[in-house]
Structure 1
Amino acid sequence: MASSVLRALMLAFALSLCIFFAECSTGDLIIEHSQSVDGGLCRNLIGPCGYTCLEHTAQTKDGFLLGLQRVSSGILNLGVQTAPPVLLLHGLFMGGDAWFMDSPNQSLGFILADHGFDVWVGNVRGTKWSHGHESLSDGDKEFWDWSWEEMALYDLEAMLSYINSKTSSKVFIVGHSQGTIMSLAAFTQPDIVNMVEAAALLSPISYLDHITSKLVLNLVHMYLDEALGLLGLHQLNLKSDILTNMIDSACDGHLDCSDLLASITGVNCCFNSSRVDVYLEYEPHPSSVKNLKHLFQMIRKGTFARYDYGTLKNLVQYGQLKPPAFDLSKIPKSLPMWMAHGGNDALGDVIDVQHTLKELKSKPNVLFLEDYGHIDFLLSTRAYEDLYDNMIEFFRSCGTSTSS
């Protein structure tokens, strides 16, 4: 009886959300991949700032076509030696544009290019700057049947393989938020980690059971992910016209958007709130409901594991009752790692970061910034002096390897 009441409440809540997101009448709302329409990320955001930018496509083993952008500096007189390739991995509801949101002297993508790095910008499946699938349409439910697990095991592998084929070099990785979940899971796989020279992880996440984000915890406790599943939704699209207009209206003097952001990410010390309109031109990108459910599973269960299908399907999928954990102790001790995390990060909590560090065989270089929230590591106006300079110094201290 109790379970049926809970199910009814979940469905009622989902229906109200459905009206809010304006998705019920047509099922999953589809965002067209605009790569072929408007010239892609290079033409829209990177090239206009004076940087050389070329579009590439990498194909995953399960058929997804991922956009990659290769960026080099417009500054010709830095006098620095060209550094190895570095792959940038964005966070949840973001795309490769996240690394270029501020001015060239504040955005990490531009900064790395100016320091001579061969910058490659990753865009995971489902995002605007990726190119769909070899056979599936984004209107098919199968197109959205994935979580960060597939991004780690397929997307990251495809990106690294492609970059390696073009450069004959191992790759530096920079991940933020979801990009660090992908990286840490992928590094437990020998065939993937062998293509990596070193990794820098911003707001590193593997365990999530100590997050303090009020809004996220409320959604977890309300079983939003289950409610969306009951409605048969597969794509999680936060950029419908109605929602965008509501956010724009709410932020026009009716709602303090920095407080709204803080309720999700923690208080960000150095986020440039005057550029919210610019950020909203590109963000958020779509993701899958399954990805949200996987993340919520991690919060509820306190595990860093593969997707939990339930007991019976786990037996079929994994040959065991519970999904296998990603064993962080399998990450090679020889892999150089650098991590930066913040005291105000409500998603990458200090306790969870310490949990991750204890499970690693290696001892990463760790930079702790007491006043930084989750978004500061990407969009802080002080990021260059606070952390990017330190990261670049770490990369330059690592040896470089070529791959056969």
Structure 2
Amino acid sequence: MVSNGHNFLLDLAGSGFFLLILVHLPRQAFSGRSLPLGFGQPPEALCAAAINSLGYKCQEFEAITDDGYILSVQRIPEGRAGGRGGGSDRPPVLLQHGVIVDGMSWLLNSPDEALPLILADNGFDVWISNTRGTRYSRRHLTLDPAKQEYWNWTWDELVIHDLSTVADLVFNQTAQKIHYVGHSLGTLVVLAAFSEGKLSDRIKSAALLSPIAYLSHMTTALGVVAAKAFVGEAVSILGLSEFNPKGVQEELFMKALCDNPGVNCYDLLTALTDIALKNEPQSTSTKNLIHLSQTVRDAKLSKYDYGSAQMNIEHYGAPDPPVYDLSKISGDIPLLLSYGGRDALSDVQDVEDLLDALKLDKSLQVQYVKNYAHVDFVLGVTAKDLIFNRVMSFFRNQ
């Protein structure tokens, strides 16, 4: 497991949402689909940047959502030489990262400690998703990422558009139902989708690492201050539609948060440098962060609140935004929830509230790791033995 100095930092970073407070330090398409030019230019492909040099085959795909976002998806179809061979019988696994990180976050450890590569070496067909707005998915058919319209979305749209689009891609390419691994926000979006009866024809089982749904017991003072400060009116004054953690205006906003009584950012900043150098934080929409702050402040899981009864009526036909009712999640999709006793974001009490809300019995497995913090479930050096082997065993038993 990472050192204590990193644990608290990574608790914040892993949620993505709270990484924004800390960071004020200075293709080829295999989908067979011809893409219009669109806006935005992809950077060096993730396959080339992090996977091919390690001896793994890697394929780049592009998936287009029905609202026009061009998503980058990577496939590791088999393990390294000496691992289990390829073949159409390899079960597909889709990995979904949190917010303000991207698919690279799964690949920061050595091949023997990185979940995608461990899965590939153990007989799985691995797919890595990158959500809209991140460096590998910063493109659109008609919208320019430099313009406000591109950033008019929250995690509601990830539920409605991104997740279903990528799941369709994997299902259509493999002709098999998918095993799913989500971390942090990657757990929230799939739980929200399940609660609305989505994806049951595509996903076979789901492993939820550091699951977040309810956030009212969050124990970090920094996160609480951020949630209280991140209201639509306050952020609108900054004129931000894209929230870039490395931007000048965002830097001023974050410094103001760190000046709050009882909030100490110094120790966190001193531990940030190596993580930032490996995987710089990614942009998200300001509206998305407002939605997440609503989840913290309102102690409920609902769609985006537009701030007035009239505007909510215009969007939803009701004065309050609809609630994602997790009790409606069917037992048809087996779930594994793995959470830690040192997680300042996915707090133990909040996870217990989630377990109560799910109202599942035989289709639910729970793993509690006393000494694990939020990002230990992705980057912990003992995660292979404690977490990843359990995940693989869970998948194989379905």
Distance 1:33 1:339, change over 3 A: farther
For 1:282, the aligned partner's letter is: N
CA contact (8 A) 1:339 1:365 kept: yes
**What is the distance in 1 between the residues matched to 2:377 and 2:283?**
22
Distance 1:41 1:78, change over 3 A: closer
Partner of 1:165: 172
Query: Which of 177, 187, 211 in structure 2 is aligned with 1:180?
Result: 187
Partner of 1:118: 125
Alignment partner of 1:290 is 2:287: yes
Distance 1:42 1:352, change over 3 A: same
**What is the distance in 2 between the residues matched to 1:257 and 1:233?**
23
Aligned identity (percent) is 39
Partner of 2:358: 360
For 1:306, the aligned partner's letter is: K
Offset at residue 110 of structure 1 (A): 0.8
Offset at residue 229 of structure 1 (A): 1.6
Partner of 1:52: 57
Deviations 1:287-334 (A, max 9, x none): 111111001001110010100012111011111111000111221112
Query: Which of 188, 200, 204 in structure 2 is aligned with 1:197?
Result: 204
Offset at residue 191 of structure 1 (A): 3.9
Q: Number of paired residues?
A: 348
Distance 1:306 1:44, change over 3 A: same
**What is the distance in 1 between the residues matched to 2:66 and 2:127?**
20
Offset at residue 164 of structure 1 (A): 1.1
Deviations 1:14-36 (A, max 9, x none): xxx9xx799xxxxxxxxx9662x
Alignment partner of 1:308 is 2:315: no
**What is the distance in 1 between the residues matched to 2:55 and 2:141?**
33
Partner of 2:257: none
Describe the SS at the equivalent of 1:393.
helix
- Structure with larger RCO (C-alpha < 8 A, sep 6+): 2
For 1:368, the aligned partner's letter is: Y
For 1:359, the aligned partner's letter is: A
How do 1:269-288 and structure 2 match up within 5 A? 277=274, 279-288=276-285
Query: Which of 344, 348, 351 in structure 1 is aligned with 2:349?
Result: 351
Query: Which of 316, 324, 334 in structure 2 is aligned with 1:336?
Result: 334
**What is the distance in 1 between the residues matched to 2:335 and 2:266?**
32
TM-score of the pair, normalised by structure 1: 0.80
**What is the distance in 2 between the residues matched to 1:110 and 1:353?**
28
Alignment partner of 1:388 is 2:385: no
Describe the SS at the equivalent of 1:193.
coil
Alignment partner of 1:42 is 2:35: no
**What is the distance in 2 between the residues matched to 1:278 and 1:220?**
23
Describe the SS at the equivalent of 2:135.
coil
Offset at residue 280 of structure 1 (A): 2.9
Offset at residue 204 of structure 1 (A): 0.4
Offset at residue 242 of structure 1 (A): 10
Query: Which of 49, 72, 76 in structure 2 is aligned with 1:67?
Result: 72
**What is the distance in 2 between the residues matched to 1:71 and 1:342?**
29
Query: Which of 304, 324, 327 in structure 1 is aligned with 2:325?
Result: 327
TM-score of the pair, normalised by structure 2: 0.81
What's the C-alpha RMSD, in Å, of the aligned pairs?
2.6
Offset at residue 366 of structure 1 (A): 0.7
Query: Which of 234, 239, 244 in structure 2 is aligned with 1:237?
Result: 244
How do 1:68-147 and structure 2 match up within 5 A? 68-79=73-84, 83-147=90-154
Distance 1:138 1:21, change over 3 A: farther
**What is the distance in 1 between the residues matched to 2:370 and 2:276?**
25
Partner of 2:375: 375
For 1:43, the aligned partner's letter is: A
